[in-house]
């Protein structure tokens, strides 16, 4: 049993930056289920949105965010996050991030879909990687921070795990049970403050730009512990991922379109020609337009064409995309890039207040795992890294004002494997995982219907019940923990999508093709298997 002041679950931008901000207050342990840099942050190509250009304003950035979010954004949160945008960019630079600059020495500002101004600060097309490396260097040098790789959190510790009942009224988090993947042992971590920074849920879909670790762990753990989760029907599909064999995807940044790339079909006709913003329309619109075109034409993919731009300029601006495509036989300076939409970003998550506090005492959440209300029904490009750092900063300030010390924690029960067995049935786990991902892609994707969602709920519920029984009698492994989380996040997404009887942003259903502000201009909140809003 390990006691610590702070337990941070996840090693992306939210987890690492929170650890750095609270490390002067006490001991910090970071849990990450793969290697230290395996996170969605590391895959982020675009950048950080900030109203710092001479022709820009915070008010315009706010307007763009709310417009992209289809008026479901929480306006107070939008203002909080965007007001602090310039501060976040300066903070990254103080951490050692080397952002791209123009010939004049000033930060180079790109443009992405939904933005009315150039406001994307970036490090070529490897912004997330640059941030991750800078933060990891800081974390590894701090004497109060311990980072544990190849550990996956199984469940949060709450009153249910306390050996002697306490006087706590509301549900309280006391830490977590954590599986050491290498030795197969479950360890108990007691913590005064726990931060969920586990990222998103993209791996629940067959095609995703996310790493394989994005199995919704944090959302599901919080939900099982009794926390409120919200707006899980709003999964953002990135319009342009490189089409590869075997369901694998590689993100082709929206910045390529901001740089002048256009989406065309196999005849060369522009797919987004009829939209006022053309190829820089918000992501939900572009993804849905591509999906509609593919289903009507029978084509397997469309193309992102940037060949009319100067080849040297392309290589300089997008070195990672250029080299990656080249390994697949595509020279983007001469060849259009075959692309399809892919699951990219979860706009919902664990419900938090404006300081990252969840509905469970001493449990915070930040980054993609959290639902702050910023993104509404569709995230504006490059607002995610911005949100993560702003919310971490606010969570750290809340912790400084009030926190529980490890010495005040109750005695909890150790993990027990009694009655479980080691099953050599990898085929069951891999089969269920593929079934879930295919079901979600086919039935709960970019375009939905009542018929598809009912069918998805029936099949996902059956798999969920089977996994629950298998989990109950089987010794834990990384794959089993992920499967348990994957099927529950799939079920939560389906339930949320079935509840919303309108089309708004990322949730589009053929049975209710129009937006309905009179009945549905509100969030979808689930707690303890019930939709409470």
Say how far apart CA 7 and CA 219 lie, in whole Å: 16
Say how far apart CA 315 and CA 297 lie, in whole Å: 32
CB under 8 Å to 399, separation ≥6 — which residues?
6, 22, 25, 193, 364
Contact at 8 Å (CB) between 203 and 327? no
Say how far apart CA 287 and CA 343 lie, in whole Å: 10
DSSP result, 340-403 = EEEEEEES-EEE--TTSB-SSBTEEE-STTEE-SSSTTSPPTT-HHHHHHHHHHHHHHHHHHS-
**Two tokens, residue 78:** 């939008």
Which listed residue (119, 257, 283, 500) is catalytic? 283
Q: What is the DSSP letter of 198?
A: -
**Two tokens, residue 329:** 């036989």
Contact at 8 Å (CB) between 49 and 383? yes
Which has the closest alpha carbon to 237: 277, 295, 289, 305?
A: 289
Length of the chain, in residues: 533
Contact at 8 Å (CB) between 82 and 62? yes
317 is known as an active-site residue: no
Q: How many other C-beta atoms are found inside a 10 Å radius of the C-beta of residue 382?
A: 28
How far is the CA of 466 from the CAs of 112, 442, 470, in angstroms? 43, 21, 6
**Two tokens, residue 399:** 């912790």
Torsion angles phi and psi, residue 25, rounded to 5:
-90, -15
H helix intervals, 69-126: 75-83, 85-94
Say how far apart CA 184 and CA 315 lie, in whole Å: 45
Residue position matching structure tokens 């509100």: 522
End-to-end CA distance of the chain: 39
What secondary structure, in 3-state letters, does 210-236 show?
Answer: CCCCCCCHHHHHHHHCCCCEECCCCEE
Tell me which residues are annotated as active site. 283
């Amino acid at each position: 049993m390990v006691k610590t002041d702070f337990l941070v679950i996840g090693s992306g931008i939210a987890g690492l930056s929170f650890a750095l901000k609270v490390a002067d207050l006490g001991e910090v342990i970071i849990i990450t289920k793969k290697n230290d840099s395996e996170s969605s942050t590391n895959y982020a190509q675009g950048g950080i949105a900030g109203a710092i250009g001479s022709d820009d304003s915070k008010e315009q950035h706010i307007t763009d965010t709310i417009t992209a979010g289809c008026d479901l954004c929480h306006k107070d949160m939008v203002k909080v996050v965007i007001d602090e945008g310039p501060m976040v960019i300066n903070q990254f630079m103080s951490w050692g991030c080397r952002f791209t600059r123009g010939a004049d020495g000033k930060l180079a500002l790109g443009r992405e879909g939904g933005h009315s101004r150039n406001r994307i600060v970036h490090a070529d097309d490897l912004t997330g990687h640059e941030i991750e490396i800078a933060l990891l260097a800081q974390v590894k040098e701090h004497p109060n921070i311990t980072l544990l790789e190849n550990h996956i959190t199984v469940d949060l510790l709450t009153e249910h795990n306390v050996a002697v009942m306490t006087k706590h009224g509301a549900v309280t988090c006391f830490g977590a049970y954590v599986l050491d993947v290498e030795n197969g042992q479950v360890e108990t971590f007691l913590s005064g403050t726990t931060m969920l920074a586990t990222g998103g849920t993209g791996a629940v879909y067959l095609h995703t730009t996310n790493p394989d670790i994005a199995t919704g762990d944090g959302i599901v753990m919080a939900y099982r512990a009794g926390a409120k989760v919200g707006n899980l029907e709003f999964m953002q599909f990135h319009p342009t991922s490189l089409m590869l064999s075997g369901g694998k995807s590689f993100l082709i940044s929206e910045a390529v379109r901001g740089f002048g790339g256009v989406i065309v079909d196999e005849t060369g006709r522009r797919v987004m020609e009829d939209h006022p913003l053309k190829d820089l329309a918000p992501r939900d619109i572009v993804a849905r337009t591509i999906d509609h075109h593919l289903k009507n034409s029978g084509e397997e993919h469309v193309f992102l064409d940037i060949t009319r731009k100067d080849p040297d300029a392309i290589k300089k601006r997008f070195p990672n995309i250029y080299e990656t495509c080249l390994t697949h036989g595509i020279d983007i300076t001469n060849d259009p890039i075959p692309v399809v939409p892919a699951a990219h970003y979860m706009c919902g998550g664990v419900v938090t207040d404006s300081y990252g506090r969840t509905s469970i005492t001493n449990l915070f959440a930040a980054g993609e795992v959290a639902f702050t209300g910023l993104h509404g029904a569709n995230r504006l490009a490059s607002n995610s890294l911005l949100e993560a750092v702003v919310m971490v900063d606010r969570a750290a300030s809340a912790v400084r004002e009030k926190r529980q010390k490890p010495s005040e924690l109750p005695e909890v029960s150790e993990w027990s494997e009694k009655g479980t067995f080691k099953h050599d049935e990898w085929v069951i786990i891999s089969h269920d995982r593929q079934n879930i991902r295919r079901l979600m892609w086919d039935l709960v994707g970019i375009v939905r219907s009542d018929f598809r969602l009912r069918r998805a709920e029936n099949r996902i519920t059956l798999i969920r019940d089977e996994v629950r029984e298998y989990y109950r009698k089987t010794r834990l492994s990384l794959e089993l923990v992920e499967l348990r989380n994957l099927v529950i996040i799939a079920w939560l997404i389906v339930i949320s999508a079935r509840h919303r009887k309108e089309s708004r942003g990322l949730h589009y259903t053929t049975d209710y093709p129009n937006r309905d502000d009179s009945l549905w201009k509100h969030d979808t909140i689930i707690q303890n298997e019930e939709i409470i809003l």
